[in-house]
Amino acid sequence: MKPIDSLVALLPIEHKTIYTVRYIDNLIELAKEDPAMIVIMRATATEENIATILSRLEEHQLQGRLIRGEERTIIGVVGAAIPPTLQEELELFEGVQETARITRPYKLAAREFHPHDTIVDVRGIKVGDGSCVVIAGPCAVESEEQIMATARAAREAGANMLRGGAFKPRSSPYTFRGLGEEGLQLMAKAREETGLPIVTEVMTPTDVPLVARYADVLQIGARNMQNYQLLEEVGRLGIPVLLKRGLSATIEEWLLSAEYVIAQGNPNVILCERGIRTFETATRNTMDLNAVALAKRRSHLPVIADPSHGTGKWYLVPQLALASIAAGADGLILEIHPDPDRAKSDGGQSLTLANFAALMPRVAAVAGALGRTMAEH
Ligand code: PEP
Ligand code: MN
């Protein structure tokens, strides 16, 4: 993806064509100044309206930072003490559309900073546009036969993207840790045949250039959510990033990790809830659907759900997949395998190809009940 495409993806959909690279650069500069509020001007606001706001801010010992889109201007308010009534006061001024307090430690990822949903474009598949995206594939790429059979079945059943790990973070060093570059090559082969974009994990900053040569989406695993060097490295590219929530990360920490990526200039972040550690041991993790609904509210980024890792049990995956869509997830990432009993990793939480095919119409039915459609593929 060209950098300009990735930057444009951050922008409100109705304004896609009118903002420029300078706009995101300026947003990043503004975020560094820790603005306490933003003032969104109407498209019809005059220069005089803008100047009036700036001088009113000065009277309050505050500074206004202008960010000009081609159609409208926003003003970031920078300064120590924001009077409690400032918001109300400014909203009365001519030319002001709305104001928003920025109270959270993350800025670029915050809904207040960027009220419209971000849509991440993965080779034409739109994640976050209201449609329901499904990513399916094995936990790990194991062989050509396995990945090709899985990719064909995934496509047949209506999946939009293929997942598959070549570099696997495993809790034990003695288990299968992936095929490495050979796994990436097999994923690329599956993409070539099926047309499905590929999602694959990158585990270290030094592997980023290699994995980025193959991947359409770079997955950051739960164990790496707070690997800040890795986040910055993928932030320097325009390639979409699937950011999994850490095993015991708060929603705020998760969004701060997204902030690391965006602050490097890559706004194409897809959040992924994959279950958290709780006192409960009956399931591998506890699927936190609160987080799906809340992340959608607090952030403009798309949020998808991973009920495979969220439950750890294949027979619970369909229910939690449907519940995730009902909770507002923009899509699902599911582990599927031609022969889960013989899978080299995460077989117990992988759906058979037939069970996956049976689930897809039910996902479409829940999406339909909510007035949503399945993403086009
Ligand atoms: C995976 O997707 O196979 C994986 C390792 O996920 P997580 O990082 O969420 O554990
Ligand atoms: Mn897995």
Task: Report the separation in Å between the CA atom of 140 and the middle of ligand 2, taken as the mean of its atom positions.
Answer: 7
Taking CA atoms only, the protein residue closest to ligand 1 atom 4 is 221
For 72, residues 6+ apart whose C-beta sits below 8 A from its C-beta are 15, 40, 41, 42, 43, 45, 97
**CA neighbor of 356 nearest in space, from 146, 129, 151:** 151
Q: Beta partners for 68?
A: 73
7 Rama sector, left if φ>0, alpha if ψ -120 to 50, beta otherwise: alpha
- Contact at 8 Å (CB) between 146 and 138? yes
Alpha-carbon distance values, 278 to 87, 146, 248, 254 (Å): 40, 34, 8, 17
Give the pair of three-digit tokens for residue 221. Answer: 């695993």
Length of the chain: 377
Give the global pTM.
0.91
Task: Kindly state if the Cβ of 221 falls inside 6 Å of ligand 1.
Answer: yes
In the structure encoding, which two tokens stand for residue 260, read together?
A: 């690391």
Q: Of the ranges 4-8, 17-21, 192-196, which is most confident?
A: 192-196
pLDDT of residue 291: 98
Selection from 174, 183, 192 nearest residue 140 by Cα: 183
Cβ–ligand 1 contact at 139 (below 6 Å): yes
pLDDT at 27: 86
Residues 6+ apart with CB under 8 A from 202: 167, 208, 211, 212, 215, 218, 219, 220, 230, 234
pLDDT on residue 69: 79
Per-residue pLDDT, averaged over 121-131, amounts to 97
Q: Which atom of ligand 1 is nearest to the CA of 169?
A: 5
The pLDDT confidence band at residue 11, using thresholds 50, 70 and 90, is: very low
- Structure confidence at residue 18 (pLDDT): 36
Of 73-77, 198-202, 323-327, where does mean pLDDT reach its minimum? 73-77
At residue 22, the pLDDT reads: 65
Tokens of 182: 């050979």
Residue 275 CB less than 6 A away from ligand 1:
no
Question: Is residue 196 in contact with ligand 1, taking CB distance under 6 Å?
Answer: no
Question: 269: which strand partners?
Answer: 241
- The DSSP letter of residue 34 is -
Q: How far is the CA of 89 from the centre of ligand 1 (A)?
A: 48
Q: What is the mean pLDDT of residues 347-369?
A: 98
Q: For residue 367, is pLDDT > 80?
A: yes
- Nearest protein CA to atom 10 of ligand 1, as residue: 222
139 Cα nearest atom in ligand 1? 3
Is residue 113's pLDDT more than 90? no
CB of 175 closer than 6 A to ligand 1?
no
| Mean pLDDT to the nearest integer, 173-199 | 97
User: What residue type is 116 in one-letter code?
Assistant: H
Nearest ligand atom owner, CA of 343: 2
Which residue has the least CA distance to atom 8 on ligand 1?
221
Q: Give residue 2's pLDDT.
A: 39
pLDDT (0 to 100) of residue 267: 93
Using a 6 Å cutoff on CB, does residue 244 contact ligand 1? yes
Cα-based angle 321, 327, 331 (whole degrees, multiple of 5): 50
Integer Cα distance of 327 and 132 in angstroms:
12
Report the percentage of the chain scoring pLDDT > 90.
84
- Cα distances from 186 to residues 165, 215, 275, in angstroms, run 11, 12, 29
Angle (CA) 126 241 331, round 5°: 45
Report the alpha-carbon distance of residue 59 to residue 63 in Å, rounded: 9
Mean pLDDT, to the nearest integer, of 103-120?
90
Q: Which residue from 141, 170, 223, 244 has its CB within 8 A of the most atoms of ligand 1, so it is best to mutate?
A: 244
* Ligand 1 nearest-atom number relative to CA 223: 8
Question: Using 50, 70 and 90 to split pLDDT, how confident is the model at 6?
Answer: very low
Closest Cα partner for 255 from 288, 284, 231?
A: 231
Mutate-to-test residue for ligand 1 from 163, 200, 274, highest number of ligand atoms within 8 A of CB: 274
What was the pLDDT predicted at 12? 45
CA dist 141 and 121 (Å) reads 24
Pocket probe for ligand 1: among 187, 201, 218, 350, the residue whose CB has the most ligand atoms within 8 Å is 201
Residue 1 has pLDDT above 60, yes or no: no
Confidence at 275, pLDDT banded by 50, 70, 90: very high
Tens-place pLDDT, residues 83-98: 989 999 999 999 999 8
Render pLDDT for 45-67 as a digit per residue (tens, 0 to 9). 999 999 999 999 999 999 999 98
Comparing 174 with 15, which gets the higher pLDDT?
174
pLDDT at 15 over 80: no
CA of 149 to the centre of ligand 1 (A): 21
Q: pLDDT, tens digit, for every residue of 276-329? A: 999 999 999 999 999 999 999 999 999 999 999 999 999 999 999 999 999 999
pLDDT at 21: 56
End-to-end CA distance of the chain, in Å? 18
| pLDDT band for position 72 (cuts 50, 70, 90) | confident
Place 71 in a pLDDT band, splitting at 50, 70 and 90: confident
The alpha carbon of 287 and the centre of ligand 1 are apart by a number of angstroms equal to: 13
Give the pLDDT confidence of 213-262 residue by residue, as tens digits: 999 999 999 999 999 999 999 999 989 999 999 999 999 999 999 999 99
Atom of ligand 1 nearest to the CA of 346: 3
